[in-house]
A and B are shown apart, each in its own frame.
Chain A
């Protein structure tokens, strides 16, 4: 997604159909800040995911765009039009709900026709467009079924057709695949992405599933505690996380706590890590957090020699996961998770002594402010000792 040619007006707001501008929007529930003054610009035709753990404000943000919640501050523009004060039925957006929320007393066709009927579209035109929409989601044969006679996946398709038939400039999706089983979910991810590309409609997609966000999105807004932690394309989010939280939430990571050195960190467990990706503004001696991706670590059965970015341990477990192999290596103080493509994986057995190495460009160092968020089980980390 290139953001180069964006039409904006004299206030710097986008004017194109399907654009979304969120400016300083906040939402409180009692004393709790659900959304904390976020800014977000979505280009027309973009597939943007709001990704984060539960309670991060992603669903609240989506619900404010749909009009189900009123923001307590800031403004929201859809296609250049301020919508904060508009009720849901006057906004040019449609929502695909988490539990589909199909009307149980109506057939599939009647559900899909609902939005067009509200706009008093001609009956023949309704029938034609409902037919097209059902064709698009491959549900034509079930047009006369009631929602309760269908599986979750089928209901999901109908919910999608019911929203898309109105031809909204922005489609809001609230964890739409959350209730489907894994295989169906992956199929729907591909289908949804292709549909979005064909229709050119802006999709704002809420999910807590990082894999889903990575595979479908043009850009991902990783949210935490009501603000956007990082907004970037999936590769950047994965390869260049801006914070320890993003590094920990997207994919898996091996973390070390320690003190900063000039070139990396000295972990409390003695491991020396050299990093080419240190967060700026970290002073030597301060408490920091380092992380290395499982696939960036190489396992060898021979000692590669001395130096930094090297840990010796014993292979504790091997799990073949199909195309990749996952190793768990136990050192004196911790366990490391390593993943390698099956064909390149070292031929080692549980109990063998192994060495783990990685490149300085694969080691990230962040300040320790988010330690609690990323270290799921702090007991596996060594507290500072006397040395």
Chain B
């Protein structure tokens, strides 16, 4: 077992990454595996949250697809998808404006205005909306004063309030990645596009949008995933009507002490998130393929890149 001493002193290249991988496995992977395992268990009746695993059973999933729970899952996906799209629709113009339209010296101020509300605690910010949306709050009174409504607004404790709350809470997570990609985009590329005869809209669709696709994808994932699992917003603003799966999971774990059912609902929530992401990925790949076909140029008399070079050698 003689090894060259020079070699034995060298650590393999992945050694530096080991601590972070260890952390990831211990605090992310193991809990996920545990939750999946628990979802096949059964709560021991009368116990304070103890679960038995013999036999392993799919019964918790049968419970989870019963209408009481399944309706909430559907509603969660509806709120998440709508909320994510709303964040994109609202966030993109904001990011575009900040990165491209306003002079660089004002950018810091705009970014600051966006960030400052985030210095307030998430829960407090969400509770603040209760004041705004209250049927006897200032917004309600003001709308009646100017004659837009003739009775109190009834938004609080509805799905609409949750929808509003999640868009408010997650919008910056959409704006920042979009801002970064748009900010990095060389302005001369847009000029080149216009120089070559593309109008502003065509330039946006053919140059700006494709080049900031990574930012759009990052923003969509950053908003959609945590939004789907959010339960604070639903708990604070939704009431009974605006329930979300995250809140169900929390109540199964913390109040009903049924860790098996809570885990099953959590796994179904994860599955739904993955499913939505997979569908969106497939659609965008198809869309990209169509775009490529449309853009493709078949120059007559040539075949393939570098082929001529290869045959010469």
Contacts and interface: CB of A to CB of B under 8 A. Distances in A.
A140 B308 CA distance: 10
A118 interface: yes
Contact of B191 (A68, A104, A142, A162): A68
A140 B191 contact: no
A343 interface: no
B290 to A, nearest CB: 15
Nearest to A126: B297
A162 B305 contact: no
B297 A88 contact: no
Which interface class (under 10, 10 to 19, 20 to 34, 35 or more) fits B? Answer: 20 to 34
Nearest to B307: A141
Which of B194, B308, B309 gathers most chain A CB within 10 Å?
A: B194
Interface string B232-262: 0000000000000000000000000000000
A103 B302 contact: no
Contacts of B78: none
Contacts of B296: 110
B196 A115 contact: yes
Contact of B197 (A99, A104, A107, A119): A119
Interface in B175-212: 186, 188-189, 191-200, 202, 206-207, 210-211
Contacts of B192: 95, 97, 101-103
Interface in A80-127: 87-89, 93-95, 97-99, 101-107, 109-110, 112-115, 117-119, 126-127
A299 interface: no
A166 interface: yes
A117 B200 CA distance: 15
Contact of A141 (B199, B210, B305): B305
Interface stretch (A128-136, A177-185, A359-367): A128-136
Interface string A129-156: 0110010000011111100000000000
Contacts of A131: 299-302
A66 interface: yes
A106 B196 CA distance: 15
A101 B299 contact: no
B196 A162 contact: yes
A67 interface: yes
A131 B306 CA distance: 15
Nearest to A144: B305
A89 B302 contact: no
Interface of A: 66-68, 87-89, 93-95, 97-99, 101-107, 109-110, 112-115, 117-119, 126-128, 130-131, 134, 140-145, 162-163, 166
Closest 4 pairs (CB-CB, A-B) = A115-B196, A118-B197, A144-B305, A131-B299
Given A114-B206, A130-B297, A131-B300, 7 more contacts: A103-B192, A103-B211, A105-B210, A106-B295, A128-B300, A142-B306, A162-B196
7 contacts: A66-B195, A87-B200, A89-B199, A107-B297, A118-B196, A131-B299, A162-B196
